Amino acid sequence: MSTPPSGRTHGALAALTLAAIGVVYGDIGTSPLYAMKEVFAHGRVPLNPENLLGILSLMFWALTVIVSLKYVLLILRADNNGEGGLIAMLALASQAVKDRPLLRRRLLLVGIFGTAIFFGDGVITPAISVLSAVEGLEIAAPGLHPYIVPVTLVVLTVLFAAQRFGTGGIGRLFGPITALWFGVLALLGVVHIAGNPGVLVALGPHHALGFIVAHPGIAFTALGAVVLCVTGAEALYADLGHFGKKPIRLAWFALVWPALTLNYFGQGAMLLRHPENVGNPFYEMAPSWALFPLIALATAATVIASQALITAAFSVTKQTVQLGYLPRLRITHTSVKETGQIYVPFVNWTLYVCIVAAVVVFGSSSALASAYGITVTIDMTITTVMTFFVIRFSWKLPLWLCLAATGIFFLIDITFFAANAVKVFEGGWFPLAIGAVMFLLMTTWKQGRSLMAERLREEAIELPAFVDSLFISPPQRVDGTAVFLAAEKGATPFALLHNLKHNKVLHAQNLFVTVQHHERPWIGFDKRVEVEPLGHDCWQVVLHFGFKNEPDVPEALKLLKGRGIELDDMLTSYFLSRDQVIPTLRGGMALWREKLFASMHRNASAAADFLSLPTNRIVELGSKVEI
């Protein structure tokens, strides 16, 4: 690791690392609240010294192999122009195999399924995290048990109600609070390890392997709960664009990994002496006087972890919309300085309703744990598969090296998935159902948009030819600039046809603008605008945006200055076509899916808002499209 050249660089790295601790590691940092408890819940894994050492070894090596080796050292290298996450990986993988159309379509389908499953994970994570923290109340005072679910719902309600205000004001506290949380995790673990240091023998991998060989059935069952100690590992990659590789890696190796290891081994050391505490080993580690402060700190840590996931859900939704897999949604920016701080009301309250349903229906973190692991393992497996195609076809590494690099991770991921798949009927169905609904919506929207584009192309008039024919007998021209938004480059916008039909005029300048979104996170201003003159003061303009760029059309059009096009904001009007979708029996999709698409299209937020068009200079003209 190179030495930063100045104290200022050291300070910036320290600040980023502290922020990463709060945002990146909140989810995995709250796993000690429930992971060990779930391994021995319901008596599936008998609690004895041999099994306990085997479980501890499995947990340590799961953290080592899955988080340290797979995510921190390998996956973080697969950045898409500095960005990470499943959407960025999907874009990388699809670009890597763009000369293999069938394989590319299948990878896109798998990646979109993983994105859909993420929303199921987004429901379970806040529910199990906050619920497990509040469950400490029954350890401190058993009489408070009836209040656990109500208190959890109050905490979650306040959290979601506060989303519209953004996290700018309190976000700076996330890092210090989460760092304090990891410090407490380590301290609790050290105290109990000091009383029984023999538990550290479980650091050796032979204990994990011996446990698997001696008790394969019990070990397979245990893996379904052991995976809970690595939930949140996807966040390392998803938050790459916010912090960069170095702070994320430094935070993991310097604080998070040691603190988690110490706490799990501390829980194990305590259970070796007091197996009766298996009902909630995390809170049983603390002295009675520290329970209420610990509950408060745990609740704060789980709220921060939930906040990070909610923010990720907003970001993923926005990216998915821009890639064309979801309809436009109303997005509010909660910070004038940070464009990434957004609030999506529909997503916020849909998540809230689903999370409240999960808390009420399942009622305890143990019940929710059965629903948790399956979504995590699906996304982990999909990430591994995508990584193979990136390093093989984009990085051009030898096949044997690609298989060696991802094969072992795939085997581990698929084993964890199989161990959780047996719990589908115990609760795993809940996030899978959410994921299935999202996958249906996403694929219906994508296919419906393709059918719409196909119908519009069939009816479209070629733009250059239309412009030439128009000036054989030109209409009256008026001052100002007309910007006609068109879905397809080279096609005559219906808004232009309607404007000529009803208003019988043409503006002095006319721009026919098509907005294209690409499978790249960022496209710079130097590649934002593509312009082609059509004559008669008319131009075909294509605006290019990455899936993390803000699609601000007026701002992008300012780049035309100096190319023979002068725009006056007060003399520029934006013409859009508001399409009404008519489902038919033409053989596009099943009729019920066409009706679903029509409903989604009708309820999508206005294109003008999505494209940041000035509301006082918009003209919308309607048309019907049969699919």
**DSSP notation for 582-617:** E--SSSSS-HHHHHHHHHHHHHSPPHHHHTT--GGG
Question: Could you give the CA distance from residue 505 to residue 598 in angstroms, rounded to a whole number?
Answer: 33
> What share of the chain in percent tops pLDDT 70?
97
Contact yes or no for 402/391 (Cβ under 8 A): yes
- CA 371, 373, 376, 377 torsion-angle sign: negative
> Quick one: CA torsion of 241, 245, 246, 251, rounded to 10 degrees?
90
Number of alpha helices (DSSP H) and beta strands (DSSP E) in the chain: 26, 8
Q: Which residues contact 591 (CB under 8 A, 6 or more apart)?
A: 583, 585
Nearest to 567 by CA among 596, 532, 594, 537: 537
Average confidence (pLDDT) over 528-543: 93
> For the residues 594-615, what does the mean pLDDT come to?
90
One-letter-per-residue 3-state SS of 267-298 = HHHHHHHCHHHHHCHHHHCCCHHHHHHHHHHH
- Both tokens of residue 372? 């948790």
What confidence score (pLDDT) does residue 518 get? 86
Beta bridge partners of 481: 509, 572
d(CA 257, CA 237): 16
Of 145, 161, 89, 609, the closest CA to residue 352 belongs to 161
485-487-489-490 Cα dihedral, nearest 10 degrees: -80
Supply 537's token pair.
């003061």
Q: Hey, what amino acid is at 207?
A: H
Output the pLDDT for position 131: 94
Token pair for 552: 């601000």
For residues 624 and 578, give the distance between their C-alpha atoms in angstroms, rounded to a whole number.
8
Give CA–CA dist 95/389, Å, rounded.
Answer: 10
Strands 572-582 and 618-626: parallel
Choosing among 1.20.1740.10, 2.160.10.10, 3.40.190.10, 3.40.350.10, the CATH entry for 8-427 is 1.20.1740.10
Sequence length of the chain is 627
Mean pLDDT of 21-34: 91
Contact by Cβ (8 Å): 388, 402: yes
| pLDDT for the residue numbered 5 | 39
Given pLDDT bands bounded at 50, 70 and 90, which one contains residue 169? low
pLDDT at 405 over 50: yes
Asked if residue 590 has pLDDT above 70, the reply is yes
Nearest to 608 by CA among 566, 567, 552: 552
With a cut of 90, say whether residue 555 has pLDDT above it.
Answer: yes
Q: What is the pLDDT of residue 455?
A: 85
| 3 state DSSP class of 494 | helix
Residue 339 reports pLDDT greater than 80 = no
The tokens for 317 are 């939704």
- Indicate whether 331 pLDDT > 90: no
| pLDDT over 50 (residue 398) | yes
At 607, is the pLDDT very low, low, confident or very high (cuts 50, 70, 90)?
confident
Q: Phi then psi for 579, rounded to 5 degrees?
A: -85, 140
Intra-chain end-to-end CA distance of the chain, in Å: 58
How far is residue 453's CA from residue 124's CA, in Å, rounded to a whole number?
37
Q: Where are the domains of the chain?
A: 8-427, 461-626
Q: What confidence score (pLDDT) does residue 3 get?
A: 38
How confident is the prediction for the chain on average, in pLDDT?
Answer: 89
> 132 CB contacts (<8 Å, ≥6 apart)?
30, 33, 34, 298, 302, 365
For residue 340, pLDDT over 70 is answered with no
Please give the C-alpha separations between residue 29 and each of 132, 148, 153, 193, in angstroms, as whole numbers.
Answer: 13, 21, 21, 19
In this structure, the number of other CB atoms found within 10 A of the CB of residue 462 comes to 12
For 171-184, the pLDDT digits (tens) are: 678 889 999 999 99
Q: What is the pLDDT of residue 337?
A: 59
Q: pLDDT-derived band of residue 8, with 50, 70 and 90 as boundaries?
A: very low
CA atoms of 270 and 191, how far apart (whole Å) = 10
Segment 433-445 shows an average pLDDT of 95
Q: What is the mean pLDDT of residues 381-409?
A: 93
The model's pLDDT over 241-293, given as tens digits with 9 standing for 90+, comes to 878 899 999 999 999 999 999 999 999 999 999 999 998 999 999 999 999 99
User: In sequence order, what are the residues at sequence separation of 6 or more whose Cβ sits closer than 8 angstroms to the Cβ of residue 141?
Assistant: none
- Give CA–CA dist 378/442, Å, rounded: 18
Look at 78 and 67; give whichever has higher pLDDT.
Answer: 67
Convert the pLDDT of each residue in 98-113 to its tens digit.
Answer: 889 999 999 999 999 9
Q: What is the pLDDT of residues 214-250, one digit of tens each?
A: 999 999 999 999 999 998 888 788 888 878 899 999 9
Q: How many alpha carbons lie under 13 Å from residue 248 in its C-beta half-sphere?
A: 27
* pLDDT above 90: percentage of residues in the chain: 58
**Tokens in use for 281?**
């080993």
Half-sphere exposure of 503 (CA within 13 A, CB side): 15
User: Do residues 271 and 47 touch, judged by C-beta distance below 8 A?
Assistant: yes
- In this prediction, residue 170 carries a pLDDT of 64
Contact between 338 and 331 under an 8 Å Cβ cutoff? The reply is no
